[in-house]
């Protein structure tokens, strides 16, 4: 059997950072730093090629990088068994979610990983994360098909569905979680795959990439005491196509008349309103309480159990590719690639 081939993409983040001697700040370093610090990579019976994007702290991420990544994956898709993307953890869940929508008919693994401590540090979590990510990207099932056929994040011994993931901790090694979906695999002595949870691509169609993305998306996080006059003014002179309302619990919001009238005026302007809960676990259920019944009547669409990251990037993708708002409204609350429970 021929050796597996993996393309390792480096985008920046802590995983490739070093401490500036003068300021003690963490600054991105070039990719050679990484290979220098993981000589174990040479022991793999896997061919690993690398590609470096200009390293950034992922807080500076822009969707242009997603476009560059999907174009590169499309170009090199047939040459590799899988792809591993090294990424800062701050926005890794946004990238994983975006890529899952932008890469249609994916049937190979795209594994994103990062670390909480830089590779150069003694107690780094980066080495294990990279090594196991490469192993997962190369793994095949008993039919010799890729074990993982979706965008996933590997972090601290667990593999998560990308568009179900969130950055959960700023300082613990298990920085990533997927509160509404079970892990796809756990790495112990062996890598134990959760076969029932894995996405299986059933189409024979070729990989199709979607690069037009709409950026005209706004998010409003509700809090007790929020001044709706201020909110109305804030949003009055801006042009946006969708508003994500971060509601309480099962999708509840204040029933203040000013607020409800304002929401109604937005739907009349054909702005799509999406109800995303502030809770990390569970689902929006519009109509369960009186405080969400009105939202349903006004025409807010329920994001059900989608993460904020998946909701934003799915809207970017849908509004970027689809002109018909009714169709976007329908698709946003229906499953495309495992991001939402039906
Ligand atoms: N600020 C870093 C980044 O997201 C943090 C990390 O890599 O974990 O790029």
Output the tens digit of pLDDT for each of the chain's 342 residues.
689 999 999 998 888 776 667 777 776 665 665 567 788 888 889 999 989 898 888 999 999 999 999 999 999 999 999 999 999 999 999 999 999 999 999 999 999 999 999 887 788 899 899 999 999 999 999 999 999 999 999 999 999 999 999 999 999 999 999 999 999 999 999 999 999 999 988 888 999 999 999 999 999 999 999 999 999 999 998 899 999 999 999 999 999 999 999 999 999 999 999 999 999 999 999 988 888 889 999 999 999 999 999 999 999 999 999 989 899 999 999 999 999 997
Tell whether ligand 1 has an atom less than 6 A from the beta carbon of residue 13: yes
User: Collapsing DSSP states into helix, strand and coil, what is residue 265?
Assistant: helix
The reply to whether ligand 1 has any atom less than 6 angstroms from the CB of 251 is no
Report residue 74 as tokens.
């499309």
**What proportions of the chain, in percent to the nearest 5, are helix, strand and coil?**
35, 25, 45
Sequence-ordered list of residues with C-beta below 8 angstroms from that of 331, at least 6 positions apart, any chain: 318, 322
**Domain layout of the chain by residue ranges:** 4-209, 217-332
Model-level pTM? 0.95
- Let me know: does 127 contact 138? Beta carbons within 8 Å: no
The CATH number of 217-332 is 3.40.50.40
Cβ 14 under 6 angstroms from ligand 1: yes
CA 193-313-248 angle, 5° bins: 90
Cα 154 to ligand 1 centroid, rounded to whole Å: 15
CATH architecture group of domain 4-209: 3-Layer(aba) Sandwich (3.40)
Mutate to test the pocket of ligand 1, among 11, 57, 167, 169 (most ligand atoms within 8 A of CB): 57
Asked if domains 4-209 and 217-332 share a fold, the reply is yes
- Angle, CA 35 vertex, CA 32 and CA 41 arms, to 5°: 160
H helix intervals, the chain: 32-37, 63-76, 92-102, 126-138, 228-236, 257-268, 290-298, 308-321, 325-332
Ligand 1 and 113: CB distance under 6 A: no
Distance 13 CA to ligand 1 centre (A): 4
Q: Per residue in 238-261, is it b (16+ CB within 10 Å) or e — as a string? A: eebbbbbbbbbbbbbbbeeeebbe
Residues involved in catalysis: 14
Residue with tokens 């509700």: 222
């Amino acid at each position: 059997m021929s050796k597996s081939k993996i393309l390792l993409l480096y985008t920046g983040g802590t995983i490739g950072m070093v401490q500036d001697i003068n300021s003690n700040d963490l600054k991105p370093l070039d990719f050679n730093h990484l290979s220098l610090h993981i000589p174990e990579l040479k022991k793999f019976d896997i061919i690993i090629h690398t590609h470096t994007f200009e390293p950034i702290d992922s807080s500076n991420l822009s969707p242009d990088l997603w476009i560059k990544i999907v174009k590169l994956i499309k170009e090199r898709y047939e040459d590799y068994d899988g792809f591993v993307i090294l990424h800062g953890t701050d926005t890794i869940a946004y990238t994983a979610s975006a890529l899952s929508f932008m890469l249609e008919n994916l049937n190979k693994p795209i594994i994103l990983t990062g670390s909480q401590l830089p590779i150069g540090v003694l107690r780094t979590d980066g080495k294990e994360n990279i090594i196991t990510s490469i192993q997962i990207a190369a793994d095949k099932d008993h039919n010799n098909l890729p074990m993982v056929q979706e965008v996933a994040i590997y972090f601290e011994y667990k593999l998560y569905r990308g568009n179900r993931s969130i950055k959960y901790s700023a300082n613990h090694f298990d920085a990533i979680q997927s509160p509404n979906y079970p892990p796809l695999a756990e790495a112990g002595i062996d890598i134990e795959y959760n076969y029932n949870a894995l996405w299986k691509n059933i189409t024979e169609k070729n990989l199709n990439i979607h690069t037009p993305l709409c950026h005209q998306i706004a998010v409003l996080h509700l809090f007790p005491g929020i001044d709706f006059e201020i909110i109305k003014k804030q949003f009055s002179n801006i042009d946006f196509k969708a508003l994500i309302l971060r509601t309480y619990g099962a999708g509840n919001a204040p029933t203040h008349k000013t607020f409800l009238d304002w929401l109604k005026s937005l739907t009349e302007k054909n702005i799509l309103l999406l109800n995303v809960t502030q809770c990390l676990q569970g689902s929006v259920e519009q109509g369960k309480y009186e405080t969400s019944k009105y939202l349903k009547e006004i025409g807010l669409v329920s994001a059900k159990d989608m993460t904020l990251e998946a909701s934003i990037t799915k809207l970017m993708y849908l509004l970027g590719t689809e002109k018909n708002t009714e169709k976007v409204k329908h698709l946003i609350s229906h499953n495309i690639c495992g991001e939402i429970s039906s």
